[in-house]
Amino acid sequence: MMLRLTLRSLAAHRLRLLLTAVSVVLGVAFVAGTLIFTDTMDGQAGDIAGHLGRNVAVEVRAKDPGGRTKGVSVPVPESVLDGVRGVAGVREPVGVVTGYAALVGKDGTAVAAQGAQNPGSVSQTGGNWIPGGDHPLKTGRAPNGPAEMVVDEATAKRGGFRTGDEATVRFKGADRPMRIVGLVGSGDLAGRTLTLFDTPTAQRLLLRPGDFTAVRMASDGVSESVLRGRVAAVLPGRLEAITGTQLRTELRNDLATLSYVGGFLTAFALISVFVGAFVIFNTFSMLVAQRTRELALLRALGASNKQVSRAVLGEAFAVGVVGSTLGLAAGTGMAAFLQVILNGGATSAPAFSGTAVAASYVVGTTATVVSAYVPARRAARIPPIAALRDDVAPPQRALGRRVVTGTVLTALGGLAVLAGQLGAGLMAKALVGLGATLVFLGVTALSPVISGPVIELLGKGFPRWFGTPGLLARRNAQRSPRRTAATAGALMVGLALVGTVNVLGASMKASVSRQIESSFVDDYFVLPVRGSSIDADAIRRAASTPGIERTTPTYTGTVDLNGSRLEYSAGDLPTIMAPVAHRMAAGDLNAGTDGVLVESDVASAHHWKVGTILSARFPDGGGQDVRVAGIYPLVGLGNVMLPESLYKAHTPLPAAHSLSLKVRTADAATLRALRRSLAGYPDLGIYDRSGWKKEKVQSLDQMTTQITLLLALSVVIAAIGVANTLALSVFERTRELGLLRAVGVDRGQLRRMIRLESILIALFGAVLGLLIGLGFGIALQHAMAGLGFDVLVVPVVPLALCAVLAGVIGVAAAVWPARRAGRMDVLTAIAHE
Amino acid sequence: MTRELRPAPAVDASNVVARATALCKSYGVGEARVVALDRVDVAVRAGELTAIMGPSGSGKSTLMHCLAGLDSADGGEIWIGDTEITALDDRELTRLRRDRIGFVFQAFNLVPTLTALENITLPLDIAGRRPEPGWFTRVVDAVGLGDRLGHRPSELSGGQQQRVACARALVARPRIVFADEPTGNLDSRAGAEVLDLMRLGVDTFGQTIVMVTHDPVAASYADRVLFLADGRVVEEMADPSAEKVLERMKRAEGAR
Ligand SMILES: Nc1ncnc2c1ncn2[C@@H]1O[C@H](COP(=O)(O)OP(=O)(O)O)[C@@H](O)[C@H]1O
Ligand SMILES: [Mg+2]
| pLDDT (0 to 100) of residue B210 | 94
Question: How many CB atoms lie under 10 A from the CB of residue A703?
Answer: 15
Mean pLDDT value of segment B174-187: 89
| pLDDT (0 to 100) of residue A141 | 92
For residue range B6-45, what is the model confidence (pLDDT) as tens digits?
A: 443 444 556 889 999 999 999 888 888 889 999 999 999 9
Q: Is the pLDDT of residue A29 over 70?
A: yes
> Which of A1, A11, A293 is nearest residue B125 as measured by Cβ atoms?
A1
| pLDDT above 70 as % of chain A | 85
For residue range A381-424, what is the model confidence (pLDDT) as tens digits?
A: 888 877 666 544 444 556 677 788 888 888 888 888 888 777 66
B126 near A CB under 8 A:
yes
Contacts of B189 (CB under 8 A, 6+ apart): B159
Q: A394 alpha carbon to ligand 2 midpoint, in Å?
A: 21
Based on the fold, state whether residues A485 and A604 are members of the same structural domain: no
Least confident of A205-214, A654-663, A707-716: A707-716
| pLDDT (0 to 100) of residue B42 | 92
Mean pLDDT value of segment A528-544: 80
Mean pLDDT value of segment B128-141: 83
Bridge partner list, A183: A139, A151
- Flag whether A552 is in a domain: yes
Mark yes or no for CB contact A4/B118 under 8 Å: yes
- Flag whether A408 is in a domain: no
Which protein residue's CA is at the shortest distance from atom 13 of ligand 1?
A: B36
B123 near A CB under 8 A:
yes
| pLDDT (0 to 100) of residue A392 | 46
The candidate with the shortest Cα–Cα distance to A476, out of A772, A16, A818, is A818
| pLDDT (0 to 100) of residue A252 | 65
Based on the fold, state whether residues A253 and A391 are members of the same structural domain: yes
Based on the fold, state whether residues A718 and A791 are members of the same structural domain: yes
**What is the distance in angstroms between the Cα of B242 and the nearest Cα belonging to chain A?**
27
| pLDDT (0 to 100) of residue A39 | 76
Q: How many domains does chain A have?
A: 4
Mean pLDDT value of segment B55-60: 89
* Domain final residue, candidates A224, A245, A276: A224
Mark yes or no for CB contact B108/A297 under 8 Å: yes
- Measured over the CA atoms of residue A353, residue A357, residue A358 and residue A360, the dihedral's sign is positive
Q: B101 alpha carbon to ligand 2 midpoint, in Å?
A: 19
Mean pLDDT value of segment A297-324: 87
Full-model pTM: 0.67
Distance between CA atoms of residues A658 and A524, nearest Å: 11
Mean pLDDT value of segment A221-249: 85
Contacts of A493 (CB under 8 A, 6+ apart): A271, A274, A275, A278, A714, A718, A769
Bridge partner list, A76: A212
For residue range B212-231, what is the model confidence (pLDDT) as tens digits?
A: 998 899 999 999 999 999 88
The candidate with the shortest Cα–Cα distance to A375, out of A446, A327, A319, is A319
Most confidently predicted of A29-33, A42-46, A116-120, A824-828: A29-33
Q: A696 alpha carbon to ligand 1 midpoint, in Å?
A: 75
Question: Any idea which ligand is nearest the CA of B38?
Answer: 1
Based on the fold, state whether residues A114 and A169 are members of the same structural domain: yes
Most confidently predicted of A111-125, A213-227, A369-383, B3-17: A213-227
ipTM of model = 0.73
Mark yes or no for CB contact B97/A1 under 8 Å: no
Identify whether the C-beta of residue B40 lies closer than 8 Å to the C-beta of residue B231. yes
Residue among B23, B25, B27, B56 to mutate when testing ligand 1 (max atoms within 8 A of CB): B27
| pLDDT (0 to 100) of residue A280 | 80
Residues of chain B contacting residue A297, judged by C-beta atoms under 8 Å apart: 105, 108-109, 111
A14 near B CB under 8 A:
no
- Flag whether A375 is in a domain: yes
| pLDDT (0 to 100) of residue A656 | 85
Least confident of A64-78, A803-817, B61-75, B175-189: A64-78
Least confident of A116-120, A561-565, B169-173: A116-120
Based on the fold, state whether residues A74 and A129 are members of the same structural domain: yes
Q: Is the pLDDT of residue A429 over 80?
A: no
Most confidently predicted of A1-15, A83-97, A714-728: A83-97
Mark yes or no for CB contact A302/B123 under 8 Å: yes
| pLDDT (0 to 100) of residue A525 | 83
* Domain final residue, candidates A183, A206, A224: A224
- Flag whether A760 is in a domain: yes
pLDDT band of A744, cuts 50, 70, 90: low
- Flag whether A716 is in a domain: yes
The candidate with the shortest Cα–Cα distance to A462, out of A470, A473, A452, A472, is A470
A703 near B CB under 8 A:
no
Question: Any idea which ligand is nearest the CA of B59?
Answer: 1
Identify whether the C-beta of residue A657 lies closer than 8 Å to the C-beta of residue A616. no
Residue among B34, B210, B233 to mutate when testing ligand 1 (max atoms within 8 A of CB): B34
| pLDDT (0 to 100) of residue B220 | 92
B92 near A CB under 8 A:
no
B89 near A CB under 8 A:
no
| pLDDT (0 to 100) of residue B212 | 93
pLDDT band of B108, cuts 50, 70, 90: low
Task: Give me the amino acid identity at A207.
Answer: L
Q: B246 alpha carbon to ligand 1 midpoint, in Å?
A: 23
* Domain final residue, candidates A682, A715, A731: A682
- Flag whether A311 is in a domain: yes
| pLDDT (0 to 100) of residue A198 | 93
Mean pLDDT value of segment A335-362: 71
Domain limits for position A701: 451-520+689-833
Q: A395 alpha carbon to ligand 1 midpoint, in Å?
A: 19
* Between A540 and A725, residue with greater pLDDT: A540
For residue range A465-506, what is the model confidence (pLDDT) as tens digits?
A: 887 778 888 888 887 888 888 888 888 888 888 888 888 888
Q: Is the pLDDT of residue A647 over 70?
A: yes
Which protein residue's CA is at the shortest distance from atom 5 of ligand 1?
A: B27
Q: pLDDT averaged over chain A?
A: 80
- Flag whether A51 is in a domain: yes
| pLDDT (0 to 100) of residue A120 | 36
CB pairs under 8 A between A and B: 74
Distance between CA atoms of residues B61 and A287, nearest Å: 28
Mark yes or no for CB contact A300/B97 under 8 Å: yes
Based on the fold, state whether residues A130 and A38 are members of the same structural domain: no
Q: Is the pLDDT of residue B176 over 90?
A: yes
A389 near B CB under 8 A:
no
Based on the fold, state whether residues A115 and A263 are members of the same structural domain: no
Q: Is the pLDDT of residue A40 over 90?
A: no
* Between A585 and A114, residue with greater pLDDT: A585
Based on the fold, state whether residues A79 and A153 are members of the same structural domain: yes
Question: Any idea which ligand is nearest the CA of B28?
Answer: 1
- Measured over the CA atoms of residue A764, residue A770, residue A774 and residue A775, the dihedral's sign is positive
Strand-strand pairing, B75-80 and B83-84: antiparallel
Mark yes or no for CB contact A301/B126 under 8 Å: yes
Based on the fold, state whether residues A89 and A159 are members of the same structural domain: yes
Query: For A587-632, what is the HEC assignment?
Result: ECCCCCCCEEEEEHHHHHHHCCCCCCEEEEECCCCCEEEEEEEEEE
Identify whether the C-beta of residue A330 lies closer than 8 Å to the C-beta of residue A25. yes
| pLDDT (0 to 100) of residue A344 | 47
B180 near A CB under 8 A:
yes
Q: Is the pLDDT of residue A357 over 70?
A: yes
Domain residue ranges of chain B, discontinuous segments joined by +: 16-255
Domain spanning B16-255: CATH superfamily: P-loop containing nucleotide triphosphate hydrolases (3.40.50.300)
Identify whether the C-beta of residue A660 lies closer than 8 Å to the C-beta of residue A525. yes
Least confident of A514-523, A697-706, B80-89, B233-242: A514-523
- Flag whether A664 is in a domain: yes
Q: B107 alpha carbon to ligand 2 midpoint, in Å?
A: 12
Based on the fold, state whether residues A180 and A252 are members of the same structural domain: no
Identify whether the C-beta of residue A27 lies closer than 8 Å to the C-beta of residue A276. yes
| pLDDT (0 to 100) of residue A425 | 61
Based on the fold, state whether residues A345 and A459 are members of the same structural domain: no
| pLDDT (0 to 100) of residue A189 | 52
| pLDDT (0 to 100) of residue A346 | 45
Based on the fold, state whether residues A174 and A251 are members of the same structural domain: no
pLDDT band of B207, cuts 50, 70, 90: very high
**Ligand 1 neighbours (beta carbon < 6 A):** B 27-28, 34, 36, 54, 56-62
Distance between CA atoms of residues A659 and A666, nearest Å: 17
Residues of chain B contacting residue A12, judged by C-beta atoms under 8 Å apart: 112-113
Residues A392-423 as b/e (b if ≥16 CB within 10 A, e otherwise) read: bebeeeebeebeeebeebbebbbebbeebbee
Least confident of A46-55, A60-69, A610-619, B140-149: A60-69
B residues 59-78 closer than 8 Å to A (CB): 61, 65, 70-71
Backbone angles phi, psi at B35, to 5 degrees: -90, 110
| pLDDT (0 to 100) of residue A197 | 94
B182 near A CB under 8 A:
no
Contacts of A268 (CB under 8 A, 6+ apart): A30, A710, A711, A713, A714
Burial of A673 (0-12, 13-18, 19+ CB in 10 A): middle
For residue range A662-682, what is the model confidence (pLDDT) as tens digits?
A: 888 777 888 888 888 887 777
Q: Is the pLDDT of residue A695 over 70?
A: yes
